[in-house]
Each structure stands twice: as C-alpha cells, then as structure tokens.
Amino acid sequence: MEIGNSLPKSPMQGDFLNPISNGKDLNCMHGEEWRMWRSRFNPGFSQGNIRTWIPAILEEVEAFGNVLRNLSGGAGEWGQVFPLEQISSNLAFDVTGSDTRLNSQSPYPSPFTIAYREQLSRMEITLSPLKLLWRATPMVQAICSIGTVSQGPRTIVRQLQLNPECIVKLQAEHDAVLGPDPRLAAERIREAPHILDSLKYTLGVIKETLRTSPATITIREGQPSFNFKIKGEEEPWPTDGFDLFDSSITIHHDPSNFADPHKFIPERFSVPEDDRLHPAKDTWRGFQLGPRKCIGQELAVVVLKLVLVFTIRTFDIEMAWDKWDRVRELQGLKVDCQMVEGERMYTTGKATSHPKDGAPMHVRIRSSSM
C-alpha cells in the first residue's frame, strides 16, 4: 500500500468542531491557512521538544498512579469497581493543559475543565446517518491526541488481560532499562528522558493495541479528479460528491497487511522487514498517514509509555464486569450484558467514542510493590 493523493478533510468534521473552535483548528483548516499553522505547530510537537515536556508529564502520570493506588483494596486485595475511562480521560486532559494545571485528576478541577466538559456534553448529535461516523471520530486534532491518551489505557489493559505473557515481557523490559525497583523509575526518567526510546517492546504493545483497536479515523472529501479503481471492475468509481471513510480497523485486520491479524503480537513492529510478521508498508494507521496525520502522536506515545512504566510493575488491573453488575443491581439499575463480536467492552458513544459503561475495572497493588 502506498500513500497517494492527500484529499481534503471532509467539511462534516469541521461542522462538529466549529462550535468549540470557530473553525480555527487544524481539523477545520485547509490550504495555505492549514499549511501555515501546521508548520508553526510542528516544532512544538517534535520528538525533541516533547522530550523537554517529560518532567511535567511525569507529574500528571504520577498523579494517575496515585488515583489507582487509592482505588486499590490495600494489603494486596482488589479494590472497588470503577470506570477506567473517567480517570484516563482526566489524565489526558491534564497532560494537554501544558503550563496550566487543570487538576482533572483531583477532587477540585479547574473552572476551565468544568466548562469544557459541559460544552462537550451538550454536543450530542441528533439521530442521523452520520452519527455512527461521529461516534468513531475522537477529537484528537482539537486538543492534541486527547482521544488516544484517554482511550489507550483501557484498551491496553484489556489486551494485557487477554495476553498475560505480554505483561511478563513488559516487566522484564522495564527492569532491564529502568532498574528493578519501580519506585526509582521516575527519578531515572527525569535524569535521562531519552531512556524512554529504549522501551522497544513497550512501544510495540502500544502500536499493537492501536492496531487492534484504532482510536482514530479520517473522513475525506471526494474530488472530481480522484476515482477508485476496484480490482475486477473495468469502470472507475467516482468520489466527487461523496465523503470517504478510512476504515482503519478493516485495514488493520486484513491478513494481506498483517499476518495473523486477530492475534495480539507486539513483536511484529520490531522484526526485520523480511519477517512474515512485519507489517506491509503504510498499513499501520494508529495516527493516520500523510501530511495531515495527527500532530500529537509523539506526545500520545510518550504518555502511554509512562502510564505503562508506572502501572505494569506496581498494579494488577483487570476488567470487573461481575462487580459492576452487582453494583448496578444494588442501585436498582438495569444490567446490560450485550456483547459485540464476543466482547462486552465495545465502543458506544456520546459526542465522541466511549467504551461500554466506561470500561469498569478493579485494581490491586502487586505484592512486590507493597
């Protein structure tokens, strides 16, 4: 697969973001205006500059770890059930606050945090054929990969629960790179932020999670000069007058692009190019491709790496549907056990995509960390 023409973003995406940004965001902009602002923002979101943010990001991820510790049961026991989506969204919001402490992870969030969330909650879309597309489109370009950071932890947790051998490999890598004591990891990273680049298997887990459960899509506007040629069909298929939906999840599960596409194999991103597991060129679309790919991908990857560093050796985190169902029964609420493709944590939505019931989890402190 090769990158060809980069078609304009669909106006549909701008219609939904306009109430917040008045059209002044990278998703809504086009042409010279977009090129000017993208070129101005690119240095700030470069890998080198993100590295200088790591000490500040560490503070927020440590706060995330403290929230998990408070939700644990103590003495190695499982704690109460809670929606992981809520606390991971708080983390994403605080990280994107940059120099402003938004305090989303504290009992006293800032006025901006409260006002912004209220604005989003009022953006539920009325029933229309476009609603499913909207639900699948997190506003990652509006505030720098906030969707990937907020969705990443719960999908990673689920994949690691299904593939516990990956947890062992992650722990071994963190011991080797950061030292055997998890409590000293933060100090080591502050002294040498570039050490995160050595976490190759950790990066593989993140990329494989985004392959199996993509956080982003793109919707492009068809053009008179751009037609599809479908194998086996003689006539070209015109795109003018249509919006083109890039189904990342379909691309990621095509066996011609990824060997054993339904297996969780982080190693596929570190094997040599001639290995059968190595992905076909330009098929991984965790942050999309081309000049309009997500500007915040370096930030998102750093945050998710740090989340794994501060959790995988300290906590056990698992889905807790049985506990969740009991709590709802005690509250007199309906228990919805519906599954999609054999998975209860499927994507639902209100304004943006969300996991079913907020991804109910429980956590305990690992005995080696007590």
Enter the DSSP assignment of 115. Answer: H
Determine if residue 160 is left, alpha or beta; phi over 0 gives left, psi from -120 to 50 gives alpha, anything else beta: alpha
Q: With beta carbons less than 8 A apart as the criterion, state whether 337 and 301 touch.
A: no
Q: Which residues are annotated as a binding site for heme?
A: 294
Rounded CA-CA distance 252/259 in Å is 10
Beta bridge partners of 347: 355
Helical segments of the chain, H only: 11-21, 31-41, 47-71, 84-95, 111-121, 131-135, 146-162, 164-178, 185-191, 200-212, 248-252, 297-309, 321-330
Rounded CA-CA distance 370/353 in Å is 36
**DSSP for 286-339?**
TT--STTS-TTHHHHHHHHHHHHHTTTTTEEEEE-HHHHHHHHHHTTPPP----
Q: With beta carbons less than 8 A apart as the criterion, state whether 100 and 112 touch.
A: yes
Rounded CA-CA distance 212/248 in Å is 9
Residues 6+ apart with CB under 8 A from 153: 84, 88, 91, 304, 307
**In 3-state terms, what secondary structure has residue 237?**
strand
Q: Which residues are annotated as a binding site?
A: 294
Q: With beta carbons less than 8 A apart as the criterion, state whether 200 and 270 touch.
A: yes
